[in-house]
Structure 1
């Protein structure tokens, strides 16, 4: 029997609406990606975000932009330097990346995937704008499904195993406890064996206890968990621990990127405090 979509993945959707609105605010997305729910959540969070900026020097939207733009930069490198022609963005939510990259690289096959309700909404949005075609598609996936129609194997079945692939997850990792997300990474690494070259791009927020605003970060993490009806655990104590975990899950080459170090040429937002986010590029 096929494994059902698990309810413990469903709490992520509110943050998809929030980030969709943030991308529009910063001119990274067209107005179609901004929803009423996204505007409402942003308005609710705005006083808290203002207080965090003023009192602690922490800017939520800066962290979001750092991760988003650095993943974009690494995706461009994979396309232009390593010949990637297929992209799968899992937990795509209201990300505008597929739209932007299909405009810039018409040869690209771009597959967006999310839980069925979000995938249906994304497909309707893109189709309503006339943006869906044979090279830009949307499918359903549940990263916790080991088999069945929503599994990784089912998602990758329609890809060309002779062509290089990039897989992206953004805004996903820290919604799951470490054993669950590492189980997904192991399944992903195994699935990527079918391709001549494969790159996985993601971001995560490590448990940076030496950060000067660690106490405030922990409070903010708890708030995010309540707003999204789930938890938001911080994984790993250092960049070395992150790289070791990815290698243990089956990735041979791992690079852990600090946006304030590796994103200097991208003109990423820079706060007066160290960045909280890390972008990971892992290859098979």
Structure 2
């Protein structure tokens, strides 16, 4: 893996602080998840978010909530109807999902994982609140590592291969060019094939140029890239391209979900502007039912 490709992995952390504060603002996270940097970043970006909302009808926080709550809904179904008892959230950042689901389902084995510096910070946060135990853990992982202690293989070694698993990544995919992220998906599918049923939940921003506010959304996406000091490429021109890509990477079944159509069921008001984000549910084996 070349040095520039590996350096891409450090760009995710600033946005993790921002989204962590957004979850707290919307009562999805406890105060411990709201960092000073996250509060500062949210304040600095508030005027930009206001212009986007008033001028273009683009509510950035609403889009974030759409993806977050839809992933939550699919995970809830996996636990309550699919018998899932182990979850791995990669690139967990300051996501409060692990805490929320462990409170709701005490028997759930929830593993949060991120790059070593972010994992150390998350571990300290959860440990300081007394939330870590044998069923709620934080591990270090580098999705670009093909072997070694931070590889996917090492991460999944601690799970029970006799039971179904759900893997989640949120706020990760579009920080990487397609070859890198598809390589990750291929290695992930290989690991998931060891389980009787496995489902991967993620979000991505496709390059849907027919979107009525495509230019404005592109501007917003490029702004996010500058904010996090990296590029933010859009992937795939259609839902069919997305399904084909996951199929090539080793997933047997892929659903592309539009959060705009799910907003009422998520407890959100309908969006004035169709969202560009899509939630992907890709399975190896039987997957979610």
TM range (shorter): over 0.9
Q: Does 1:17 align with 2:17?
A: yes
Scaled by the length of structure 2, the TM-score of the pair is 0.95
Partner of 1:33: 33
The alpha-carbon deviation at position 263 of structure 1 amounts to: 4.2
Partner of 1:264: 264
Partner of 1:165: 165
The alpha-carbon deviation at position 268 of structure 1 amounts to: 2.7
Partner of 1:230: 230
Partner of 1:91: 91
**Which has the larger displacement, 70-79 or 235-244?**
235-244
Q: Which runs of 5+ in 2 are unaligned?
A: 285-289
Q: Is the 8 A contact 2:86 2:166 kept in 1?
A: yes
The alpha-carbon deviation at position 40 of structure 1 amounts to: 0.8
Partner of 1:246: 246
SS state at 1:146 partner:
coil
Q: Is the 8 A contact 1:168 1:201 kept in 2?
A: yes
Scaled by the length of structure 1, the TM-score of the pair is 0.97
Aligned-partner Cα distance in 2 for 1:142–1:58:
33
The alpha-carbon deviation at position 261 of structure 1 amounts to: 1.8
The alpha-carbon deviation at position 247 of structure 1 amounts to: 1.0
Q: Extract structure 1 runs of 4+ deviating beyond 3 A.
A: none
The alpha-carbon deviation at position 210 of structure 1 amounts to: 1.1
Aligned-partner Cα distance in 2 for 1:277–1:219:
15
Q: Does 1:130 align with 2:141?
A: no
Alignment of 1:33-52 (within 5 A): 33-52=33-52
The alpha-carbon deviation at position 7 of structure 1 amounts to: 2.6
Partner of 1:115: 115
Q: Does 1:216 align with 2:216?
A: yes
The alpha-carbon deviation at position 8 of structure 1 amounts to: 2.2
Q: Is the 8 A contact 2:263 2:269 kept in 1?
A: no
SS state at 2:282 partner:
strand
Aligned-partner Cα distance in 1 for 2:23–2:269:
14
The alpha-carbon deviation at position 144 of structure 1 amounts to: 0.5
SS state at 1:215 partner:
helix
Give me the CA root mean square deviation: 1.3
Aligned-partner Cα distance in 2 for 1:229–1:269:
32
